[in-house]
Structure 1
Amino acid sequence: MSTETRPKVWLITGSARGLGRAIAQTALAAGEYVVATARDPRTLADLADRYGTQMRAAALDVTDALAAAQAVQTALDAFGRLDVLVNNAGFGHIAPFEQTPAADFRAQIDTNFYGVVNVTRAALPVLRRQGAGHIFQISSVGGRTSAAGLSAYQAAKWAVGGFTEVISQELAPFNVHVTALEPGGMKTEWSHEAGRAIPPLFAEYEPSVGRLLELLRDHVGNEASDPAKVAQLILRLAYHDHLPPHLLLGSDALHYCGAAETTRAEYAMRWREVSASTDFAASGPEPALPVLA
């Protein structure tokens, strides 16, 4: 646990609504200093009016590396340092991969993955020179599981998880802590955005993507996690120096990830002999290929 008590300086992407806004409000209410970013900073005017010099609102499209560097500079100019980066901006659209326009697929990857890369790259030199800091990547349980219809979104979140694991090792020697936070369902606008432009499904995708859409309709409004509680937890984590590279949030995230890990372990055991058969030292007859249930 960190013994530091002075207020921290936060940079939060995607602060206009949902979890990003909840994190900004929670940090500000706790006396922290915040650079809250959004594509349109006018959406943050009420927070700026309320908290005055404790906050800066900045325009940021996370796919723009130059804008990311400018947002970090805003924190330095206003508060002299940067302690906590929250990479929250992101979105997903539901559609079969075959029916996902290439431009939409790329836009999801650019925002959900390269947006994280851009802002992290901009912040790292500051955190390294300070010899301290926290980076929280708002990922998803979909960064360790999969669901038909979310190919671009979940591909990006899986990439965020791998990126986080690597840089958490690189940054640990100079006391910068990196964690991918992986919530399940939260009561935010994510589901509405995800279902905003669903194409008429090809009949062949009804059993897979169609099933997800049915589940989503039942899910909206009944999500497990409270964004306010998530934001309060992130505030606590920012003062803790012993964090894992991945942290699931929500009982549903625990359930879905646990089921996925069990299935992976079963596959790995069933195919163990096949996996080992490619070694130079392997001998004997080729193992039979298992039949999956």
Structure 2
Amino acid sequence: MSKTWFITGASKGFGREWAEAALERGDNVAGTARNLDDVQELVDSHPDTFLPLQLDVTDRSADIDAVRKAHEKFGVLDVVVNNAGFGHFGMVEELTEDEVRAQLETNFFGALWVTQAALPIMREQGSGHIIQVSSIGGISAFPTVGAYHASKWALEGLSQSLSQEVAGFGIHVTLIEPGGYSTDWSGPSAKRSDEIDAYSAVREEAAKRPSANDPGKPEATRSAILKVVDAENPPLRIFFGKAPLGIAERDYESRLQTWREWQPVSEEAHGS
């Protein structure tokens, strides 16, 4: 049976790959983009099953309206993919208020507003699947992208709570946590803070991250996302790419070691 998808940021990157994968197998897709010219090819190739929607996800009322239009068009809403987002590069000291707010407004609040718009429809259906595009940066952290991490860690916590709240309604939640991919995330789509010279050495070291040497292929995620949305019991979290599992294992082993080492102090803080 075909599915109906709502995908934000469908013009490029993962959103474009997944929209094409869904359309090519006969699913319906409502795809959003800031500029509809960027999705015209999808309109031309799938005029009956692709609904283009112009949207800036930071506009809550527009998010609600876009989800409503998708539901009115196709009559059902099976999969909602919160993919729209960008990376901001800047040391924590370099970040301006406007830069941090813009990062959170898109990556976190945009996903929240779309999710809120979809939930009443999915509750009424008694089914649905919310796909949140997070990152290995949603569970770990690296220099130069603190604001980005803040947005993804927030999305991770929100989504884990959400998964427990909506399970009884037949709604699944999955956090996709990709590693480095050859998209334009760190290129034209990225925003950058004005640099402070004192951090030059930190910046140079951060540029040597291994993920930059062997990025994943975005097109390879097509079959993976279809397996996730077609699963009877989809995971709450899944890594995309080879590198994230190793990063997570090292990070969590270090956390557990520190927590255990300091457990006597933790228990002291509990009181008798």
Instruction: State the TM-score, normalizing by the size of structure 2.
Output: 0.95
| Matching residue within 266, 279, 288 for 2:257 | 266
Structure 1: runs of 5 or more not aligned:
1-5, 282-293
For 1:191, what is the secondary structure of its paired residue?
Answer: coil
CA distance in 1, matches of 2:87, 2:264: 38
Structure 1 match to 2:55: 60
Structure 1 match to 2:270: 279
Q: Say if 1:197 and 1:150 are closer, same or farther in 2 by CA, change over 3 A.
A: closer
The share of aligned pairs that are identical, in percent, is 36
Q: CA deviation at 1:151?
A: 1.2
C-alpha deviations, 1:232-271, integer Å up to 9, x for none?
A: 2111211113122221221111111111111101111111
For 1:76, what is the secondary structure of its paired residue?
Answer: helix
For 2:106, what is the secondary structure of its paired residue?
Answer: helix
Indicate the RMSD between aligned Cα atoms, in angstroms: 1.5
For 1:247, what is the secondary structure of its paired residue?
Answer: strand
C-alpha deviations, 1:46-79, integer Å up to 9, x for none?
A: 1100001111000111111111111111211211
For 1:186, what is the secondary structure of its paired residue?
Answer: coil
Structure 2 match to 1:238: 229
1:104 aligns with 2:99: yes
For 2:208, what is the secondary structure of its paired residue?
Answer: helix
Structure 2 match to 1:3: none
Does the aligned pair in 1 maintain the 2:160–2:236 contact within 8 Å? yes
Q: Which amino acid aligns with 1:81?
A: V
Does the aligned pair in 2 maintain the 1:93–1:193 contact within 8 Å? no
Q: Report which of the two structures shows the higher radius of gyration computed on alpha carbons.
A: 1
Does the aligned pair in 1 maintain the 2:87–2:191 contact within 8 Å? no
CA distance in 2, matches of 1:139, 1:219: 16
Structure 1 match to 2:26: 31
Q: Say if 1:156 and 1:196 are closer, same or farther in 2 by CA, change over 3 A.
A: closer
Q: Which amino acid aligns with 2:205?
A: R
Structure 2 match to 1:166: 161
CA distance in 2, matches of 1:200, 1:170: 42
Q: Which amino acid aligns with 1:19?
A: F
| Matching residue within 198, 202, 208 for 1:208 | 202
Does the aligned pair in 2 maintain the 1:131–1:175 contact within 8 Å? yes
When structure 1 is superposed on structure 2, of 68-77 and 15-24 the one drifting more is 68-77
C-alpha deviations, 1:112-165, integer Å up to 9, x for none?
A: 100110000000000000000101100000000001111111011001110111
Does the aligned pair in 1 maintain the 2:132–2:175 contact within 8 Å? yes
For 1:53, what is the secondary structure of its paired residue?
Answer: coil
Q: CA deviation at 1:196?
A: 5.3
Structure 1 match to 2:214: 222
Q: Which amino acid aligns with 2:202?
A: S
Q: Say if 1:260 and 1:15 are closer, same or farther in 2 by CA, change over 3 A.
A: same
For 2:130, what is the secondary structure of its paired residue?
Answer: strand
Structure 2: runs of 5 or more not aligned:
none
Structure 2 match to 1:191: 186
1:176 aligns with 2:171: yes
CA distance in 1, matches of 2:190, 2:214: 16
For 2:53, what is the secondary structure of its paired residue?
Answer: strand
Query: Equivalent residues in 2 for 1:39-118 (5 A)?
Result: 39-118=34-113
Q: Which amino acid aligns with 2:38?
A: T
CA distance in 2, matches of 1:102, 1:91: 17
Q: CA deviation at 1:207?
A: 3.6
Q: Say if 1:195 and 1:17 are closer, same or farther in 2 by CA, change over 3 A.
A: closer
CA distance in 2, matches of 1:65, 1:241: 31
Instruction: State the TM-score, normalizing by the size of structure 1.
Output: 0.89
Q: CA deviation at 1:34?
A: 0.2
Q: Which amino acid aligns with 2:69?
A: T
C-alpha deviations, 1:52-111, integer Å up to 9, x for none?
A: 111100011111111111111121121111100000001111111111121111100110
Q: CA deviation at 1:199?
A: 2.7
Q: Which amino acid aligns with 1:233?
A: A
CA distance in 2, matches of 1:139, 1:29: 25
When structure 1 is superposed on structure 2, of 245-254 and 136-145 the one drifting more is 245-254
